[in-house]
Amino acid sequence: MKKQIIIFIVLAIVIVLFTTNDSIAQCPMCKISAESNLRDGGSAGKGLNFGILYMFALPYLLVSTLGFLWFKNRKNYDNEDDSSQVV
């Protein structure tokens, strides 16, 4: 079980490290595009802001869900260990 957790953590770190360069490179392009669109009377900036908020919320939602499931299963696992030791 611990080996799987270590592999998952290492894989997550590798994915984050290799995808950040592409994300950072796009930020100036998005900013310039949104500014020019808003100057011309468009509404793409509002959609861009919604997309940014959506991207910020998704990792928090995933981590919260995993934390809740871990906490819930940990309590069940501890209860099983306690009941098996009573014998």
Q: What is the value of pTM for the model shown?
A: 0.42
- Per-residue pLDDT, 65: 94
- Per-residue pLDDT, 26: 60
- pLDDT tens over the chain, length 87 residues: 688 888 899 998 888 777 766 555 566 777 788 788 888 888 777 777 788 788 888 889 999 999 999 988 887 766 666 666 655
Residue 80: Cβ-neighbour burial (10 angstroms; 0-12, 13-18, 19+): exposed
Secondary structure E strands in 19-62? none
Task: Single out the residue of 22, 8, 1, 16 nearest to residue 59, CA to CA.
Answer: 16
- Per-residue pLDDT, 20: 61
Residue 12's domain spans which residues? 2-85
Alpha-carbon torsion 12, 17, 18, 22, what sign? positive
Give the chain's domain count. Answer: 1
